[in-house]
Structure 1
Amino acid sequence: MTQKFAVIGLGQFGSAVARKLSHEGAEVLAIDKNIDRIEIIKDEVAFAVALDSTDGKALKAQSVQDMDAVLVAIGENIEGLLLTVVQLLELNIKRIIARVVSPQQKIILDKLGVSEVISPEDAMGEAIAETLLNPHMHSFLSLPDNHQIADVSLPIRLIQKTVGELDFEENYNLELLAIKRTYETTKDGHRYRQQHLIKKIRSDIELEAQDELVIFGLDEDIETFLKVNS
């Protein structure tokens, strides 16, 4: 069954989310009171409607209450954000995700009962800081209880070691989820580099110089792994 989502607020962040959801096969209702933004995205999503999201009747008329989830991406406008969220709560939306741009907004939304609050700017800042502190780390996903999924370059000293030799769980208290491996191919006389994902992790896989490891574990265990092998 096709998932249905509404995205309210079509700034850079909201538009990017709407396009990605639509590209992945979801049915997307894009909402913004700015008609110019609607015109820009209307051909890339299932439905695009110009309306005032603080108007509960207008939202109901678009069947927002039938969506699997609604993303409110109007964090810069605190009044609009709060009034929109209140209207969505009145409609008993199954799942509300709200973007905030300040700690105060998060506190207020918590009080209203919105448990899924995101701050893309904070997340990006953390990611950049992490890559500065750990040059081997390309990206990471922060998880509850101080856990994360990290994408790291293979340390030089581990090249040609096998997965079995390293025994990530025993030696590092980490789980190796996947390996990103780069292959060179030739087409029409040109050489290309393509990255593929090795998802079935066997103990006899020998790690190569250009490999990237996708690992899961505690923040401190991932940091230790990078330090002891740097």
Structure 2
Amino acid sequence: MINRFAVIGLGQFGMSIARTLAARGAEVLAIDVLIDKVEFVKDEVAHAVALDTTDIKALMAQNVQDMDAVVVAIGENFEGLLLTTVLLQDLKVKRIIARAASTQQRMILEKMGVTEILSPEETVGKTVAETLLHPNMKSFLPLADDYEIVEIQTPKRVVNKTVREVGLRQKYNLNLITVKRIFEEERGGKVSEVEHIIGVPQGDTVLYDSDIMILLGKEQDVNKFMEVNK
């Protein structure tokens, strides 16, 4: 069964969501008030329309109430985002995911009963801050309850040790999800370096200097692991 989604607001954020969903095989309805943005994405999604989403009749004409989920990614017009969200609630849309550009906007959406809220600016800001504070950190995904998923270069003190010797769970309360590793491969008569995921690490998996460790744990435990072993 094909998943059906509507994405309202085709700025950079909404456009990326629409394209990614379509590339993954979903049926996507892309909506924006500006026709040029609709034209830009129309060949990449199942349906693309220009309309005013603060008009409930216009929304109903596109059957948004039948979608598996609707993403409200309007970035510059928060009043329009709020009214659109209210109309989607009135239409009993199964799942509404709304964008919040600030803490205040998040609070308002929460008061309205929206439970799935995206804050791309806040997430990017935290990611940049973390990578500045910890140069070995390659990427950072904050989760609820102070948990995070991070990609870090193997710290110096654990290079050439096994996962068991490092004691990630026992010493640091961290889970090693997987490892990105560089392999040399011959392609077209030329040897090049290619990055691969090694799968689920075992206790005897050795960690090398060029490896990228993908860890799950609490922020303070990740920081402790990096500080102790740098």
Q: Same fold (TM over 0.5)?
A: yes
Distance 2:215 2:11 in 1: 33
Distance 1:228 1:114 in 2: 41
Distance 2:144 2:78 in 1: 27
Q: 1:82 aligns to what?
A: 82
User: Greater CA deviation, 199-208 or 13-22?
Assistant: 199-208
Distance 1:15 1:193 in 2: 32
Count, aligned residues = 230
Q: Secondary structure at the match of 1:76?
A: coil
1:226 and 2:223 matched: no
Distance 2:191 2:18 in 1: 35
Structure 1 residue 66 displacement after superposition: 1.3
1:152 and 2:152 matched: yes
Structure 1 residue 45 displacement after superposition: 0.4
Can you list the C-alpha shifts for 1:90-131, whole angstroms capped at 9, x where unaligned?
Answer: 011111111122333222211211121222111101000000
Q: 1:205 aligns to what?
A: 205
Distance 2:43 2:52 in 1: 21
Q: 1:69 aligns to what?
A: 69
Distance 2:128 2:192 in 1: 28
Distance 1:23 1:160 in 2: 39
Please give the TM-score of this superposition, normalised by the length of structure 2.
0.96
Q: Secondary structure at the match of 1:145?
A: helix
Q: 2:35 aligns to what?
A: 35
Residue 76 of structure 1 contacts residue 100 of structure 1 at CA under 8 Å; is this kept in 2?
no
Gaps of at least 5 residues in structure 1 are none
**Partner AA of 1:77 in structure 2:** N
Q: 1:169 aligns to what?
A: 169
Q: 1:18 aligns to what?
A: 18
Counterparts of residues 130-149 of structure 1 (less than 5 Å): 130-149=130-149
Can you list the C-alpha shifts for 1:35-87, whole angstroms capped at 9, x where unaligned?
Answer: 11111100000110111111111111211111111111113102211110111
Q: Secondary structure at the match of 2:215?
A: strand
Gaps of at least 5 residues in structure 2 are none
Distance 2:202 2:119 in 1: 38
User: How many percent of aligned residue pairs carry the same amino acid?
Assistant: 52
Distance 2:218 2:32 in 1: 40
Please give the TM-score of this superposition, normalised by the length of structure 1.
0.96
**Partner AA of 1:205 in structure 2:** T
**Partner AA of 1:210 in structure 2:** S
Q: 1:115 aligns to what?
A: 115
Distance 1:178 1:60 in 2: 45
Q: 2:4 aligns to what?
A: 4
Distance 2:167 2:114 in 1: 41
Distance 2:52 2:28 in 1: 18
Residue 102 of structure 2 contacts residue 122 of structure 2 at CA under 8 Å; is this kept in 1?
no
